[in-house]
Amino acid sequence: MADRGRLIAFEGVEGAGKSTQIELVAEHLRKRGYTVIETREPGGTSLGSEIRQMVMRPTRTTPSPMTELLLYLADRAQHLAEVIVPALNRGDVVVCDRFSASTVVYQGYARRLGVEQVRQLDAIVRNGVWPSITFILDCPVDLGLQRARGDDRFHREEVAFHERVRAGFLSLAEADPDDYCVIDATQPVDEVTRLVLERVERCLQKS
């Protein structure tokens, strides 16, 4: 069993298969005896669900990039206080669909707000909380968009936006391979799961 909590984040372009892998990893860990909290950003709390509606639904009034960033950070602040930090303090494993990397990539790279500015604001909100590992499920943008379900604002973005997102994730992973693990999400689901679990087990074994 884990002697302290772990935060495991899943990232990737739209349609990369995050939800499927989160379910499979959580199921595997529960069978191993771990207490697993599955959550997501935005929307991991009641307040976060309201913020999710604000930032993701298509409306006549589109939030500015900075407004969008601050809404995501507000969601994260509440998520950390209400869900993630208490779970980590209990020694649980938190498996999260998107976390800080998405903010840096979507708002810093794709919205062009500036990576360092976004990092600084995110660091204030996180207050030292950081994933044990962040998985980046990578696939070509056109394939991901074909797979993706939903009709939110981000699904409606131009292909160039999604290409910037993909490039941003890969850039983060290249700069920090200890914290990020890129997995080819075009492989069969069971092979992706096998590769993910190999890295998860290594994280859980660390003191």
pLDDT value of residue 1? 36
pLDDT value of residue 59? 74
pTM of the model: 0.93
Question: To 5 degrees, how large is the angle CA 15–CA 17–CA 23?
Answer: 140
Question: Does residue 63 have a cis peptide bond before it, meaning omega lies within 30 degrees of 0?
Answer: no
Q: How far is CA 206 from CA 12, 119, 156, 182, in A?
A: 25, 26, 41, 20
Q: Output the six-digit token pair for 204.
A: 């859980």
pLDDT per position in the chain (207 positions), as tens?
345 799 999 999 988 999 999 999 999 999 999 999 999 999 999 999 999 998 988 777 788 999 999 999 999 999 999 999 999 999 999 999 999 999 999 999 999 999 999 999 999 999 999 999 999 999 999 988 888 766 677 878 899 999 999 999 999 999 999 999 999 999 999 999 999 999 999 999 875
Class of the CATH-defined domain 6-205: alpha beta
Pairing of strands 36-40, 180-184: unpaired
Count CA within 13 A, CB hemisphere, residue 27.
7
Residue type, position 33, single letter: G
- The three-state (H, E, C) secondary structure of the chain, written as one string: CCCCCEEEEEEECCCCCHHHHHHHHHHHHHHCCCCEEEEECCCCCHHHHHHHHHHHCCCCCCCCHHHHHHHHHHHHHHHHHHHHHHHHHHCCEEEEECCHHHHHHHHHHHCCCCHHHHHHHHHHHHCCCCCCEEEEEECCHHHHHHHCCCCCCCCCCCHHHHHHHHHHHHHHHHHCCCCEEEEECCCCHHHHHHHHHHHHHHHHHCC
pLDDT value of residue 3? 55
Contact 154, 52 (CB under 8 A): no
Contact 42, 100 (CB under 8 A): no
